[in-house]
Amino acid sequence: MIPKLNLYKDSWGVHSDSSIKPGLDSIIHALMLLGNPHKDLNVVHIAGTNGKGSTLSFIENIALAHGLTVGKFMSPCIIDVHDQIQINGVPITEQEMNEIFSFFKESNIEGLLTDFELLTCAAFVHFNNKQVDLVLLEAGMGGREDSTNVIMPIVSVIPSISLEHTRFLGNSIESIAGHKAGIIKKNRPVVIGNLPNSAIEVIEKEAVSKDAPLYRLGIQFQVELTSTGDRYINERKSIHIEEIHRSLLGNHQSSNMALAITSFLEVADYFQLSIDIDKVRKAIANTKVPGRFEEVINNVYFDGAHNPESATQLVRTIEKHFPSEKIIFVVGMLADKDVKSVLSILETTSNHFYFVDFSNPRAMNAEEMFNLSNATEKHVLKDYLPFIQKASLSNGKTIVTGSLYLLAEIRQQLLCRK
């Protein structure tokens, strides 16, 4: 479910399927009818389990600081469908979306696509219309059979790999890595983060088969946490950047930052740009991402920890920044996630949990989450908005976490109450 997408579908009579259907045949056919708007785009393609959004945002700010016009396509939304397609940080407007759907209607793509494929086409058309310099493209699920995987990128980026979407991607790290590796293209570099060894083997094999240069965190480039900020080292490019100060908290964000800098170095080579280290530092310092340990109102943080890996990173960040604070979790998750494992990890740092329902057909019932939890202080919270607003005035920290769809829903309601 993509909020407000149906408004355009219904207005223009452009039907698409809300289900998930991996494969590229349908979108390739639809893009052909649309004049192949993706063909001339300069793209950084990002796939992975966690870290995609943060890595994308770091690259975006670095590119903007170097004078590039940047389009980005990401998922899920922050509030509604418009913020999934942005240029220079500005969401697509209703007028622009209506013009695109009018074009869809004229091009006879009715009934060919899923909702996500339709939105991918909208992004390609928008970026082509506006002639952006660079597109940052986040894969929706997997990579090899994801609708975004129809482009030839400047560089591919894989920040992390862990078990996810096992119904579609398989039940092993190797299988999931095989899907992510599908974004690697012939003779185009790929930048990867700290991946499991079994995933690295799959990625390396794919890179070799495609003659794609492989740049791996900790091997071809490094990041170090020091008392004066992060230090980025890339001997291959003869670049050292000292005293980098991130606004995004959590040690894992240093890895995402390093991937972003390494990826942008490839972009800079492509555009024949000179790297300005001061601009890189400033861009990193200014990078903030909704739903990534984000203080939305006083003492209330949003973090989309929806799988064990991201839950572990959340716990580490809490323990580092709020070691003696009382922590209260407000949790809502999708039923197809590893809910039990996520809760077990979060329970290592707090016993105070409130479980909530939210408007998504894949959401797990709050009562079911309550029953899965081993917390000693746990409740089902029916009306969460007054509770969250009141939490801003109380001692301790309240962490709203789980599904990014939950975070989007609460954010929208908080904005409406202002």
Domain ranges in the chain are 5-285, 294-417
Q: Name the amino acid, one letter, at 307.
A: N
> Which of 252, 346, 353, 336 lies closest to 308 in space, CA to CA?
346
Give the β-pairing of 70-73 and 85-87: antiparallel
Q: What is the pLDDT of residue 166?
A: 60
Low-confidence ranges of the chain (pLDDT < 50): none
Architecture of domain 294-417: Alpha-Beta Complex (3.90)
Q: What is the pLDDT of residue 165?
A: 63
Q: For residue range 114-124, what is the model confidence (pLDDT) as tens digits?
A: 999 999 999 99
Q: What is the pLDDT of residue 418?
A: 53
pTM of the predicted structure, to 2 decimals: 0.91
| The two domains 5-285 and 294-417 share their CATH topology (first three levels equal) | no
CATH of domain 5-285: 3.40.1190.10
Q: What is the pLDDT of residue 236?
A: 95
> Which of 316, 330, 305 lies closest to 413 in space, CA to CA?
330
The answer to whether 115 touches 16, Cβ cutoff 8 Å, is yes
**Helices 5-12 and 94-106 sit at what angle, rounded to 10 degrees?**
40
| Helices assigned H by DSSP within 131-276 | 166-169, 173-180, 197-209, 252-271
The answer to whether 325 touches 314, Cβ cutoff 8 Å, is no
Q: What is the pLDDT of residue 336?
A: 86
Q: What is the pLDDT of residue 353?
A: 98
Q: What is the pLDDT of residue 21?
A: 86
Q: What share of the chain is helix, strand, coil (3-state, %, to 5)?
A: 40, 20, 40
| b/e burial code for range 163-181 (CB count within 10 A of at least 16 → b) | bbbeeebbeebeebbbbbb
Q: For residue range 178-217, what is the model confidence (pLDDT) as tens digits?
A: 999 999 999 999 999 999 999 999 999 999 999 999 999 9
